[in-house]
Structure 1
Amino acid sequence: MIIAALFITLFLLILLGVPIAFALAIASLVAILIEGSIPDLVILHQMLGGMDSFPLLSIPFFILAGALMNQGGITKRIFDFAGALMGWLRGGLGHVNVGASILFSGMSGAAVADAGGLGAIEIKAMRNKGYDADFSVGLTAASSTIGPIIPPSLPMIIYGVIAGVSIGQLFAAGIIPGLLMALALSIMVTIYARKRNYPKDAKFSLGRIAVTFKHAFPSLLAPVIIVGGILTGFFTATEAAVVACAYAFLLSSLWYRSLSLKGLLKVSFDTIETTSSIMLIIGGAAIFSWVLTSQGIHQIVADSLGFAGGNKYTVLLAITLILFIVGCFMETIAAITILTPILLPIALAAGIDPVQFGVIMVLNLMIGLLTPPLGMVLFVLSQVSSVPIERCAKATLPFLLPLIVVLVLIMLVPALTLWLPSVLY
């Protein structure tokens, strides 16, 4: 009864256009009022408890670092270097698109930041070279999901906080899957390039590579400092976010001299707005998750999965389907906050490592960012490319295949996610 009221209220509020953070909190309040014995103050306590975590301090700093890189022209220099490195391949700008996402992922752990900043540059360059709009938008959408898999990653930070799992190990676990995603997308680019006879966009030139590398070298040091510092234990993920932010500011303002006071104010206010939205979602999802857990939803789900077979791969398949469906309708951070306390105990009972499960969950929800009706990456790319949202969704569909293949691989081969953390930690 209470669980039914919780979900019915939530879906009605979402359909009415209520922001997801408020929809989660209001639905929880309705369920608590129906239950009758829980004090109303529990909502405030649970919301504040969900937001009161030291690692979550890294979120505004990583967001600001990504915004500073976009505003300060760092993103453009990374794209130019990737173009010199891979533009000589057939369908070169497609490979550049993927390569630039790998480089940018080491600085900003959000798919939406990749799509909004780097994506705008990529789509414009591909259009100018005569690439089809559906190919440009679809590939850019898919490649933007590499960002939250390769460290640093905002979704993995949130999962690590809720699951009590080492964020450093999660970051290390995402490196190989992220590179596999890039390889799978590059294979897709090669197939499209041959089928549509896309040209080589530039001749191979060591001189051009050297020049663009020289210009981009300070920018390329950012992921080395951030990721290297975390993986070697020199600083924590939260400290790494502060370092990333400081480095991006110094690079944009003093080295490249491309960040104006007006630009700094803009990215600061954008960061405040984005961080506030994320923290409200985390707070709303925390109370929603608490209500579900208090009503024994994890046991209900576990019993259902047990009835379906209960072995490791059956549980993984069932969880994957749940995550995919939820990802189509719910914002990533809210989904992680709500579902981790429900699904993680089931995964642990089935013998699935929590680090592997974290990568599976994040990649699953990244695929959800590319699917209607609420795929945030689709909305961002529709805005920056002036392509209707329906056409963006259709263009992205073929590029879901390589991502799903990688997802299946990391489900079936735990070593792909667990080998590197075991070596480094």
Structure 2
Amino acid sequence: MEALLVITGILALLLLRVPIAFAILGPCLAYMLIGGQSTGLSLRTAAMEANSFPLLAVPLFILLGVVANHTGIADRLFGFARVLLGRTRGGLGYVNIGVSVGFSWISGAALADVAGMGKMMVPAMTKAGYPRRFSLGLTASTSLISPIMPPSIPAIIYASVAAVSTAALFAAAVVPALLTAGGLSLLVFLWARNKPHLAGEKAEKGELGRATLRALGPLGAPVILLGGILSGLFTPTEAASVGAAYVLVLALCYRKLNGRALWTIAVETVTTAASITVILAASGLLGWVLAREQVPQQVASFLLGVTDNATVLLILVALVLILIGTVLEPIAALVITVPVLLPVAVQLGADPVHFGVITIICLMIGLLTPPIGGVLFVLGSATRTPMHEVFRGTAPFLVPLVAVLLLLILFPDLVLFLPGLLNL
């Protein structure tokens, strides 16, 4: 009953638009005070959750993505993809997906991706004759590739909470991210097959070479990041620092870095990293409350009473996580749900790395659905479009996303093949 009251209090505060960290902290602190627990215990519990070496990679990957957003790297990728793919029917749709795939190797957060891509891709597509809803829906959907494809900030958080290898989780996410891009590309192909007017113009002589040269620097980032991690040369935290330094050097070479830009980058990085850290600390306190009330054991008992099949359990968990993702920020949702659901999945034979990829994709799909729909709000703000219009455009794209999710649940080897090949 006490745990139910705490959760009800959190949901009520979230509906009142209280910031997530404080919505979690308030009811948890009230629970501890009523139960006679010390303030010192609550502070220690919250601090311990954020005191993790793998989490050091989070602010560094945030810095990497912020620098890339502010220094024209996305524009260079856009130019390269447009020359390469723009002539095909529905070409700007494929360009949208291609830029998101390229940018995802640098940025590990959906909201940062959609904020930058929205301002660039939606006006370009609507100007070329694409329906505004389609442009909005595709841009919102492709932003989910960033938190799935390594380097992924949610993957780092999951690896820390679940005590699994970050490198293994990064490797496991590559195929799902590419399948997500493939699913969205298939939808674009089916939609555009009877629209010949959406084919772009042929590139001028030498244009491809110039665009390739401009994109070589940004395309080197994934080689350094993933190559270093998967080869064992870097830990993910070390790779984050090397990647951030590499992108800063690129920005200097492109003459995009000055005092004002550095200040903007620093403020955005610190603000984002601090908000994630506070959410993690608050979620750690909630995890302590739920553990004290034996909520994980009760949930496990209930789920094991429903099914003893790992695949069925993953489908049920996926439904629950998508619903949770519609109302709760992904970082907080990861820290709260993983300690409760992962032991049950492992007990039925699920692999923790496979479970992690499924969990991240489910919570990302939640970002595309009301009532919270973080991606919808950010894209609507960036393009000055009402949220309901953004969702109407996004709704058809949920079909390929859910189809890819089911494919990954039914065929775990799609996720586990690459980590096994690399012995991670």
TM-score (norm 1): 0.97
Are residues 12 and 215 of structure 1, via their aligned partners in 2, closer, same or farther at CA, if it must alter by over 3 Å? same
Distance 1:264 1:216 in 2: 22
* Amino acid of the structure 1 residue aligned with 2:183: A
After superposition, the C-alpha distances for 1:6-47 in whole angstroms (9 at most, x for unaligned) are 11111121122211101111111122234x253332211111
Equivalent in the alignment of 1:178 = 177
Equivalent in the alignment of 1:152 = 151
In 2, are the aligned partners of 1:163 and 1:341 still within 8 Å (CA)? yes
After superposition, the C-alpha distances for 1:177-236 in whole angstroms (9 at most, x for unaligned) are 110001110011111213555511232567322210111101110111111111111111
Q: Within 5 Å, which residues of 2 pair with 1:30-45?
A: 30-34=30-34, 36-45=35-44
Distance 1:184 1:389 in 2: 24
Equivalent in the alignment of 2:355 = 357
Q: Within 5 Å, which residues of 2 pair with 1:7-26?
A: 7-26=7-26
- Tell me the SS of whatever aligns to 1:165: coil
Equivalent in the alignment of 1:88 = 87
* Amino acid of the structure 2 residue aligned with 1:191: L
Uncovered stretches (5+) of structure 2, i.e. residues with no partner: none
Distance 1:82 1:194 in 2: 20
Q: Which moved more, 1:169-178 or 1:23-32?
A: 23-32
- What is the aligned residue count? 423
Uncovered stretches (5+) of structure 1, i.e. residues with no partner: none
Q: Note the C-alpha offset of 1:245.
A: 1.1
Equivalent in the alignment of 2:96 = 97
Equivalent in the alignment of 1:119 = 118
In 1, are the aligned partners of 2:303 and 2:313 still within 8 Å (CA)? yes
Q: Within 5 Å, which residues of 2 pair with 1:299-378?
A: 299-378=297-376
Are residues 57 and 11 of structure 1, via their aligned partners in 2, closer, same or farther at CA, if it must alter by over 3 Å? same
In 2, are the aligned partners of 1:168 and 1:231 still within 8 Å (CA)? yes
User: Does residue 167 of the first structure (1) align with residue 166 of the second (2)?
Assistant: yes
In 2, are the aligned partners of 1:5 and 1:30 still within 8 Å (CA)? no
Q: Note the C-alpha offset of 1:237.
A: 0.8
- Tell me the SS of whatever aligns to 2:147: coil
2:394 to 396, 401, 404: 396
Cα root mean square deviation, aligned? 1.3
* Amino acid of the structure 1 residue aligned with 2:390: C
* Amino acid of the structure 2 residue aligned with 1:217: L
2:290 to 289, 292, 298: 292
In 2, are the aligned partners of 1:88 and 1:200 still within 8 Å (CA)? yes
Q: Within 5 Å, which residues of 2 pair with 1:197-346?
A: 197-203=196-202, 207-253=206-252, 255-346=253-344
* Amino acid of the structure 2 residue aligned with 1:237: P
In 1, are the aligned partners of 2:129 and 2:198 still within 8 Å (CA)? no
Distance 1:156 1:123 in 2: 28
* Amino acid of the structure 1 residue aligned with 2:49: G
Distance 1:60 1:318 in 2: 33
User: Does residue 28 of the first structure (1) align with residue 25 of the second (2)?
Assistant: no
Distance 1:125 1:240 in 2: 34
Equivalent in the alignment of 2:131 = 132
After superposition, the C-alpha distances for 1:72-94 in whole angstroms (9 at most, x for unaligned) are 11110011111111111111000
Q: Note the C-alpha offset of 1:347.
A: 0.8
- Tell me the SS of whatever aligns to 2:148: coil
TM-score (norm 2): 0.97
* Amino acid of the structure 2 residue aligned with 1:322: V
In 1, are the aligned partners of 2:89 and 2:195 still within 8 Å (CA)? no
Q: Note the C-alpha offset of 1:62.
A: 1.1
Distance 1:274 1:197 in 2: 43
* Amino acid of the structure 1 residue aligned with 2:29: L
Distance 2:372 2:49 in 1: 24
Equivalent in the alignment of 1:406 = 404
Equivalent in the alignment of 1:4 = 4
Distance 2:203 2:346 in 1: 50
* Amino acid of the structure 2 residue aligned with 1:348: V
